[in-house]
Amino acid sequence: MIKTYASRVWALLKSFQLTIVLLALLMGLVVACTLAQVEMGTQGAVNAYMRSFIVWHQFSFLTFQVPTFPGGALVGLLLTFNLIAKTLDIKLSWQKSGMWLVHAGLVVLFAGEFVAGMMQVDTNMTIEVGQTVNYVQSYKNAELAIIDVTDPIWDEVYSVPDTLLSKGGSIAIPGTPLTINVKRFFPNAQLSNLQPGLPPSPATAGVGAGVSVIEAPLVSDDKEMNQTSAFVEPVAGGRSYGTWLTSVSLGAPQSFIHEGHTYVLTMRLRRQYLPYAFTLKQFRHDVYPGTDIPKNFSSLVQVVNPSQKESREVLIYMNQPLRYEGKTFYQASFGKNDTLSVLSVVENPGWLLPYVSCVLVSLGLLVHFAIVLRRSLKRRQDKKEG
């Protein structure tokens, strides 16, 4: 009974009909994802439709989301199993070696997409001419940074990600005597001056005492950014240092002193500090003669890596990124009258897999066609001799 059931499952898994159904589902997901970009933005739509196992939807007559469609991750996983099953069904012989290589290349291609979907991290580095930067920052995610600026030479930075802030409660800051009590968290908010007659602000310290905070829906446009905000209360040694408003849209520095240490509170885009630094030596924005049409963007940066005893200049320009220490730096944008460069930074452990896939598929097709050609020539020769 079990053997019969397993054989039926295996027959279904390697069937061509399953391949057609899965490809049709994938095409439907592509169309739905494309249409959803209008409301959800590119990244939001890709995450909801292509990099999820189940597509969830909330109908107007329900207060909760329900599963409505298999997601791209699930369809891709089933396609991978289908491809592996069909590969194992191919006769293991020299005559079929080309098809084995082609199928292996396709499996590697699917594996590369899974690795990219699950492990790829997209950040950016914004750097001005003459400035030295040793960190990359997220496009969307924020963090509450608590910075000990007591030492005039070296800052101690401690951070709390927005995912932890959203849970509220008390958060102990390791390495410091501080505990942060999260009074209220806003994934996105609109800030304005507190008008007379409005309820007082929850903030009792800093600039937040005169600011009105209204919760806003999350942005969907890729060019917009959520103004993540939170009311927090630093506590140390049994003493409260008041309730502070921290927000991505607040530029004013806010600080307090505890036992001789000065701590700065700031909400900012989440940062990842690097063991090396970039200094922007020059940025060029070339256009075609007589027009404003961009011809080339390029950043001349000096890479300094003390651990490798390395200091060298590198030119990053369109279609010529810098691959360094597991990250790829692309020229993405610019600003401030061509004195600021924005580098898109991608960390993808599986970046090499699509190239391996292309090589395997190309080699497999060449081998397959060579075997077919040899067989055809031999058949023609035998026919002549007969």
pLDDT in tens, 343-378: 999 999 888 899 999 999 999 999 989 998 988 888
Q: Contact at 8 Å (CB) between 245 and 265? A: no
Q: Helix, strand, or coil here: 16? A: helix
Query: What is the percent of the chain where pLDDT is above 90?
Result: 53
**pLDDT tier at 9 (50, 70, 90 boundaries)?**
confident
Looking at residue 125, what is its pLDDT?
95
> In this predicted model, what pLDDT tens digit does every residue of 269-312 receive, in sequence order?
999 999 999 999 999 988 888 887 778 889 999 999 999 899 99
Sign of torsion, CA 277 145 221 23? Answer: positive
Check whether 42 has a pLDDT greater than 70.
yes
**pLDDT tier at 51 (50, 70, 90 boundaries)?**
confident
Phi/psi for 150 (5° steps) reads -60, -45
Q: Which amino acid is at 268?
A: R
Taking the CA atoms of residue 172, residue 275, residue 271 and residue 157 in that order, the dihedral angle to the nearest 10 degrees is 40
**pLDDT tier at 3 (50, 70, 90 boundaries)?**
low
Looking at residue 20, what is its pLDDT?
93
Query: What does the pLDDT average to over 166-181?
Result: 94
Looking at residue 48, what is its pLDDT?
87
Neighbours of 256 (CB within 10 A): 17
Looking at residue 182, what is its pLDDT?
96
pTM over 0.75: yes
Check whether 118 has a pLDDT greater than 90.
no
Alpha carbon of 303 to those of 270, 298, 334, 339: distances in Å?
22, 15, 19, 18
Q: Contact at 8 Å (CB) between 246 and 235? A: no
Domain range summary for the chain, segments of one domain joined by +: 2-120+352-385, 132-272, 277-338
Q: Which amino acid is at 159?
A: S
**pLDDT tier at 1 (50, 70, 90 boundaries)?**
low
> In this predicted model, what pLDDT tens digit does every residue of 122-137 receive, in sequence order?
999 999 999 999 999 9
Query: What does the pLDDT average to over 67-84?
Result: 89
Exposure of 146 by Cβ count < 10 A (0-12 exposed, 13-18 middle, 19+ buried)? Answer: buried
Looking at residue 259, what is its pLDDT?
92
> In this predicted model, what pLDDT tens digit does every residue of 179-215 receive, in sequence order?
999 999 999 999 999 888 888 899 999 999 899 999 9
> In this predicted model, what pLDDT tens digit does every residue of 143-154 receive, in sequence order?
999 999 999 888
Looking at residue 44, what is its pLDDT?
81
Neighbours of 244 (CB within 10 A): 26
- Interhelix angle for 16-45 vs 72-88, to 10°? 150
> In this predicted model, what pLDDT tens digit does every residue of 247-270 receive, in sequence order?
999 877 899 999 999 999 999 999
The per-residue pLDDT of the chain, averaged, comes to 89
Q: What's the start-to-end Cα distance of the chain, in Å?
A: 53
HSE-CB for 210 with a 13 A CA cutoff: 5
